[in-house]
Amino acid sequence: MKALFDLETKELIRIGGTISGNDPGYIRDLTEEELSLVTAGGAYTVVKDTEAGLVRDYVELTDDLINGKREEISKARYNAEVGGIEVDGVPVRTDRVTQSILGNARQYAKEDNTFSTDWKLSDGTFVTLTAPQIIAFADAVLAHVQAQFTKEKLLNDQIDAVTTTEELKAVKWG
Protein backbone atom coordinates (compact mmCIF):
# COMPACT_ATOMS: atom_id res chain seq x y z
CA MET A 1 0.00 0.00 0.00
CA LYS A 2 1.33 3.43 -0.89
CA ALA A 3 1.69 6.17 1.71
CA LEU A 4 2.29 9.90 1.45
CA PHE A 5 4.64 11.54 3.96
CA ASP A 6 5.44 15.20 4.65
CA LEU A 7 8.91 16.08 3.34
CA GLU A 8 9.88 18.21 6.33
CA THR A 9 8.30 16.51 9.35
CA LYS A 10 8.26 12.98 7.90
CA GLU A 11 4.71 12.63 9.29
CA LEU A 12 2.22 10.41 7.52
CA ILE A 13 -0.28 12.47 5.55
CA ARG A 14 -2.43 9.65 4.15
CA ILE A 15 -2.37 6.06 2.97
CA GLY A 16 -4.03 4.48 -0.01
CA GLY A 17 -6.42 6.27 -2.29
CA THR A 18 -5.04 8.27 -5.16
CA ILE A 19 -1.49 9.34 -4.40
CA SER A 20 0.53 10.77 -7.24
CA GLY A 21 3.85 12.46 -7.80
CA ASN A 22 1.98 15.78 -7.83
CA ASP A 23 1.15 15.48 -4.12
CA PRO A 24 3.37 17.48 -1.76
CA GLY A 25 5.70 15.16 0.11
CA TYR A 26 7.14 11.82 -0.78
CA ILE A 27 5.54 8.47 -1.49
CA ARG A 28 6.67 5.03 -0.48
CA ASP A 29 5.19 1.56 -0.18
CA LEU A 30 4.31 0.28 3.30
CA THR A 31 5.06 -3.23 4.44
CA GLU A 32 2.23 -5.26 6.01
CA GLU A 33 3.79 -4.68 9.42
CA GLU A 34 3.94 -0.92 8.85
CA LEU A 35 0.37 -0.88 7.58
CA SER A 36 -0.84 -2.59 10.77
CA LEU A 37 1.06 0.01 12.85
CA VAL A 38 -0.63 2.83 10.94
CA THR A 39 -4.14 1.40 11.19
CA ALA A 40 -3.79 0.46 14.88
CA GLY A 41 -3.49 4.08 15.93
CA GLY A 42 -6.12 6.61 16.71
CA ALA A 43 -6.54 10.14 17.85
CA TYR A 44 -3.63 11.89 19.52
CA THR A 45 -0.99 9.92 17.62
CA VAL A 46 1.28 10.76 14.74
CA VAL A 47 3.04 8.24 12.53
CA LYS A 48 6.54 9.22 11.38
CA ASP A 49 8.85 7.66 8.83
CA THR A 50 12.30 7.19 10.36
CA GLU A 51 15.47 5.45 9.29
CA ALA A 52 14.41 2.58 11.52
CA GLY A 53 10.96 2.43 9.86
CA LEU A 54 7.60 3.80 10.87
CA VAL A 55 7.13 4.85 14.47
CA ARG A 56 4.09 6.07 16.32
CA ASP A 57 4.61 9.15 18.43
CA TYR A 58 2.05 10.12 21.00
CA VAL A 59 1.09 13.74 20.97
CA GLU A 60 1.96 15.54 24.19
CA LEU A 61 -0.93 15.80 26.63
CA THR A 62 -1.59 19.55 26.55
CA ASP A 63 -4.09 21.88 28.16
CA ASP A 64 -5.61 22.38 24.69
CA LEU A 65 -6.27 18.64 24.34
CA ILE A 66 -7.69 18.44 27.86
CA ASN A 67 -9.89 21.51 27.35
CA GLY A 68 -11.02 20.13 24.00
CA LYS A 69 -12.08 16.89 25.68
CA ARG A 70 -13.92 18.86 28.38
CA GLU A 71 -15.76 20.79 25.65
CA GLU A 72 -16.62 17.53 23.87
CA ILE A 73 -18.07 16.11 27.10
CA SER A 74 -19.94 19.35 27.83
CA LYS A 75 -21.58 19.31 24.39
CA ALA A 76 -22.55 15.66 24.84
CA ARG A 77 -24.05 16.46 28.25
CA TYR A 78 -26.06 19.35 26.81
CA ASN A 79 -27.38 17.21 23.95
CA ALA A 80 -28.39 14.47 26.40
CA GLU A 81 -29.90 17.05 28.77
CA VAL A 82 -32.17 18.62 26.17
CA GLY A 83 -32.83 15.44 24.19
CA GLY A 84 -36.11 14.64 25.93
CA ILE A 85 -37.34 11.73 28.02
CA GLU A 86 -40.38 9.56 28.45
CA VAL A 87 -42.40 9.71 31.63
CA ASP A 88 -44.83 6.80 31.98
CA GLY A 89 -44.63 6.31 28.21
CA VAL A 90 -45.31 9.98 27.48
CA PRO A 91 -42.66 11.91 25.48
CA VAL A 92 -41.54 14.99 27.43
CA ARG A 93 -39.27 17.77 26.20
CA THR A 94 -36.29 18.61 28.40
CA ASP A 95 -34.98 21.74 26.70
CA ARG A 96 -34.15 24.72 28.90
CA VAL A 97 -37.40 26.59 28.22
CA THR A 98 -39.50 23.52 29.03
CA GLN A 99 -37.49 22.95 32.21
CA SER A 100 -38.33 26.48 33.34
CA ILE A 101 -42.01 26.39 32.42
CA LEU A 102 -42.44 22.94 33.94
CA GLY A 103 -40.74 24.12 37.13
CA ASN A 104 -43.18 27.03 37.39
CA ALA A 105 -46.15 24.75 36.70
CA ARG A 106 -44.88 22.41 39.42
CA GLN A 107 -44.97 25.30 41.88
CA TYR A 108 -48.64 26.00 41.08
CA ALA A 109 -49.46 22.29 41.26
CA LYS A 110 -47.89 22.00 44.74
CA GLU A 111 -49.96 24.97 45.95
CA ASP A 112 -53.24 23.83 44.36
CA ASN A 113 -53.83 20.12 43.88
CA THR A 114 -56.81 20.90 41.59
CA PHE A 115 -54.58 22.83 39.17
CA SER A 116 -54.38 21.49 35.63
CA THR A 117 -52.94 22.80 32.40
CA ASP A 118 -52.87 21.96 28.72
CA TRP A 119 -49.40 20.74 27.78
CA LYS A 120 -47.79 20.17 24.40
CA LEU A 121 -45.73 16.99 24.33
CA SER A 122 -42.53 16.48 22.38
CA ASP A 123 -44.44 14.51 19.72
CA GLY A 124 -46.65 17.57 19.06
CA THR A 125 -49.79 16.29 20.74
CA PHE A 126 -51.61 18.08 23.54
CA VAL A 127 -52.74 16.64 26.85
CA THR A 128 -54.30 18.10 29.94
CA LEU A 129 -52.02 17.48 32.89
CA THR A 130 -53.33 17.29 36.44
CA ALA A 131 -51.39 18.60 39.42
CA PRO A 132 -49.94 15.16 40.30
CA GLN A 133 -48.92 14.60 36.65
CA ILE A 134 -47.24 18.01 36.47
CA ILE A 135 -45.29 17.24 39.63
CA ALA A 136 -44.29 13.82 38.28
CA PHE A 137 -43.16 15.30 34.93
CA ALA A 138 -41.21 18.09 36.62
CA ASP A 139 -39.54 15.71 39.05
CA ALA A 140 -38.61 13.32 36.22
CA VAL A 141 -37.15 16.13 34.12
CA LEU A 142 -35.17 17.44 37.09
CA ALA A 143 -33.82 13.95 37.83
CA HIS A 144 -32.90 13.51 34.14
CA VAL A 145 -31.09 16.85 33.97
CA GLN A 146 -29.27 16.25 37.24
CA ALA A 147 -28.14 12.81 36.04
CA GLN A 148 -26.54 14.41 32.97
CA PHE A 149 -24.61 16.93 35.08
CA THR A 150 -23.52 14.18 37.46
CA LYS A 151 -22.25 12.12 34.53
CA GLU A 152 -20.39 15.17 33.16
CA LYS A 153 -18.77 15.74 36.56
CA LEU A 154 -17.64 12.10 36.78
CA LEU A 155 -16.13 12.29 33.30
CA ASN A 156 -14.36 15.54 34.18
CA ASP A 157 -12.96 13.79 37.26
CA GLN A 158 -11.64 11.09 34.91
CA ILE A 159 -10.10 13.80 32.71
CA ASP A 160 -8.38 15.26 35.78
CA ALA A 161 -6.79 11.87 36.45
CA VAL A 162 -5.43 11.12 32.95
CA THR A 163 -1.68 11.10 32.39
CA THR A 164 -1.50 10.11 28.71
CA THR A 165 -3.27 11.00 25.49
CA GLU A 166 -4.46 7.40 25.20
CA GLU A 167 -6.16 7.69 28.60
CA LEU A 168 -7.72 10.99 27.52
CA LYS A 169 -8.98 9.40 24.30
CA ALA A 170 -10.67 6.68 26.36
CA VAL A 171 -12.85 9.20 28.25
CA LYS A 172 -16.16 9.18 26.37
CA TRP A 173 -19.75 10.19 27.00
CA GLY A 174 -21.36 7.09 25.55
- pTM for the whole thing? 0.68
For 58-116, how does the pLDDT look when each residue is reduced to its tens digit (9 = 90+)? 566 778 889 989 999 999 999 999 999 999 999 999 999 999 999 999 999 999 999 99
Q: How confident is the model at residue 41 (pLDDT cuts 50, 70, 90)?
A: low
Q: How confident is the model at residue 145 (pLDDT cuts 50, 70, 90)?
A: very high
CA-based angle 9:12:17, to the nearest 5?
Answer: 145
63-170 topology per CATH? Helix Hairpins (1.10.287)
Element (H, E) at 45: strand 45-50
Average pLDDT over the chain, rounded to an integer: 85
Q: What is the mean pLDDT of residues 121-140?
A: 95
Helices 131-161, 63-81: axis angle to 10 degrees equals: 170
| pLDDT for res 54 | 67
In whole angstroms, give the CA distance from residue 123 to residue 125: 6
Sorted by where each begins, the domain ranges of the chain are 2-58, 63-170
